[in-house]
Amino acid sequence: MSLSVTARAVRYPLKAPFRISRGVKTAAEVVVVEARADGEVGRGESVPYGRYDETVDGVLAQLKPALAVLEREGDDNIDHGAALALLPPGAARNALDCALWDLRARRTGVSVAEATGLPVPPALITAVTISLDAPEAMAAAAWAVADAPLIKIKLSAEDPAACLRAVAAAAPNARFIVDPNEGWTFEILHGLRSLLADLPIALVEQPLPADADEALDGYDPPYVICADESVHVGGDLAALRSRYQAVNLKLDKTGGLSEAVRMLEQARALGFQLMTGCMVASSLGIAPALHLAGSCHFADLDGPWWLAVDHPGGLRVEGGVIRPPATGFWGDGVAAEALWL
């Protein structure tokens, strides 16, 4: 049986600028892979990330050899794992891996939840992100989502204490994930120790640059520090045990759901707390991660909430609670082409 696989760039404008310590974006630039066989179409989406030297054009170029192998060998004879092995962990492999998971579910009728043993929760709390800005602007943004149980606060090295206090005052009933995106030094982190201890902090995510996080060795803070940029695949985990108490599983880092499922079990065995995270993406990019989220302590999957327009039938984020997309959207083995017209 022939297998046809294509990849293309898609741009989703955002409803507001999204700022972190290393820059600002006004649109989500993604790569979508579509795999077709037996009249079924499986889809996957990824977000090329400049922090990892990825671009949309670069990811499309990366995909070409793997797509050629898949199409040349045909679906009956090809080992999909061999094609995926041509790609390093990252955005290219993620889009292809997720498209193949979706196609397999549609062709066999065996859902991704059944195949992995990881069901999608009917509803779960997700962090809602407050973009980096002046303290008063961040307070206004926090006030607008103050009913959310979990709020992520993007920070930089510029007056993080004022930003923290402003958001905390505007959303007094929320817990917080503090995310400097590698933008702090150890001195800044330690200098905020008392303030962070006084606030309802769920996690402090990747405070130091990944190439300078040895400063965290043996550090014993009164809150949980979560690795993001410092951890990509399961092989990274063991070396981080003395620095971090939690890890962020992102499909765009692991290179797809296949590695993320393995990494989930490895991280559990090593005693890490777990968060499922995302880039700013559409519901297509987030749907596979919902399978991880039910087994994690925290979810940060509000990417589609930032889009001006998402897919029909996509997931919903309301009041800091995420609900899965419509039946047939991704991975449940049910055809629903009308969602994609």
Active-site residue numbers? 154, 250
E-strand stretches of the chain: 4-20, 23-37, 40-46, 124-125, 128-130, 150-154, 175-179, 201-205, 225-227, 246-249, 273-276, 298-299, 316-318, 321-323
Q: Name residue 273's amino acid.
A: Q
Could you tell me how far CA 293 lies from the centroid of its own chain? 10
> CB neighbours of 315 closer than 8 A, spacing ≥ 6?
283, 286, 287, 290, 301, 304, 322, 323, 324, 325
Question: What are the tokens at 185?
Answer: 């030094």
According to DSSP, the β-strands at 246-249 and 225-227 are parallel
Beta partners for 178?
A: 153, 204
**Which residues have C-beta within 8 Å of that of residue 183, sequence separation ≥ 6?**
21, 22, 155, 156, 157, 207
